[in-house]
Amino acid sequence: MSEVEVKAIGFLQREVPKWSRENGCFSCHNNGDAARALLAALKLGYPVPASALADTTEWVSHPDAWSNNKGDPGFSDQRLADIQFAAALHSAQTAMPDSKGLDSQTTLRKAALRVAAVQDVDGSWRIEPQNPIGSPATYGTALATLMAWRILRAGEGSELEPASQKASNWLQGLPPVNVPAAAVVVMASVERGSGAQDSQLGNAIAFLKNAQTSAGGWGPYLDDPPEVFDTALALLALSRFSDAGIKQIVRRGRSFLGANQLPDGSWPATTRPPGGASYAQAMSTSGWATLALLATRER
């Protein structure tokens, strides 16, 4: 692994377990996004200590208890929390298939049913609908719907198929009008099995190519200054392709992430509007950046 990846994983190993230990509750940022990055590293063979993930894996393996999480309800959205904890559960089952308590498909199906129960009538999950570009910790509708759709598909239950199909239909109608939406379109299209003839996929790839800045990163819109979160989403989308032109785009994006990493291995928070200070957004930003770096490693 590169030095940037090693520093990022070291930071997450230290920081992920601190939230529940110090606050007595579980968070979407530490035990969701950031934990998923550690689990991705573990799946790739990086020696992540069990202590860094023990509290997260114990928490996400009991979906029935997620509604009993402590914390300030004024700063939480149970729909979003269910999506993020279910995503962490699925990542844990993939990275730790032999772990006790994580190997049950029934557990994942329970999590998926919680997610499906709050789907909007149009097939989406309208998380923070007033913000069309989302944010690292709060996702926004496009990213939330993609993440929920993945969970429903992984749940493998016939009772989940109608919700999964509605989500797929919504994603197929999503216009790639900003970088997060374009990245979601690419990821959903590839996972659906769309081919090169798919116009929505082609338009989204073209949007991402055009939106890359001279610094190598991406902002939320064309000609916006680059942000770590938007760069991470673009890289996660483009990691699905192997042609030389996209590989060069990806290398420039990775260089942007490396240049903006902080000395402790984390990244500054991507906030909407930019320039804000938020521990939650900083943790999720660092998680997304690490996921993007791991997904685009040149093997």
Q: How would you write 93-137 as a 3-class SS string?
A: HHHCCCCCCCCCHHHHHHHHHHHHCCCCCCCCCCCCCCCCCCCCC
Task: Please name the amino acid found at residue 206.
Answer: A
| DSSP assigned state of 263 | T
Helix axes 279-295, 228-238, angle to 10 degrees: 30
pLDDT at 41 (0 to 100): 98
Percentage with pLDDT > 70 across the chain: 97
Average per-residue pLDDT for the chain: 94
Print the domain residue range for 87: 3-295
The pLDDT of residue 245 is above 90: yes
Greater model confidence, 156 or 291: 291
CA angle (45 as vertex; 186, 80 as ends), nearest 5: 45
Give the residue from 117, 28, 144 showing the smallest Cα distance to 81. 28
**Would you state the structure tokens that stand for residue 39, as one six-digit string?**
């689990």
The pLDDT of residue 232 is above 90: yes
pTM (two decimals)? 0.96
pLDDT at 228 (0 to 100): 98
In tens, the pLDDT along 66-125 reads: 998 876 444 469 999 999 999 999 999 999 987 776 767 889 999 999 999 999 999 999
Distances in Å between the Cα of 292 and the Cα atoms of 40, 110, 199 are: 10, 28, 25
Burial class (CB in 10 A: 0-12, 13-18, 19+), 68: exposed
Which domain CATH number covers 76? 1.50.10.20
DSSP lists the bridge partners of residue 254 as none
SS3 85: helix
**Would you state the structure tokens that stand for residue 142, as one six-digit string?**
């496009």
Distance, CA of 44 to CA of 100 (rounded, Å): 20
Task: Determine how many CB atoms are found less than 10 A away from the CB of residue 146.
Answer: 26
pLDDT at 71 (0 to 100): 60
Our count of domains for the chain comes to: 1
Average pLDDT over residues 115-136: 97
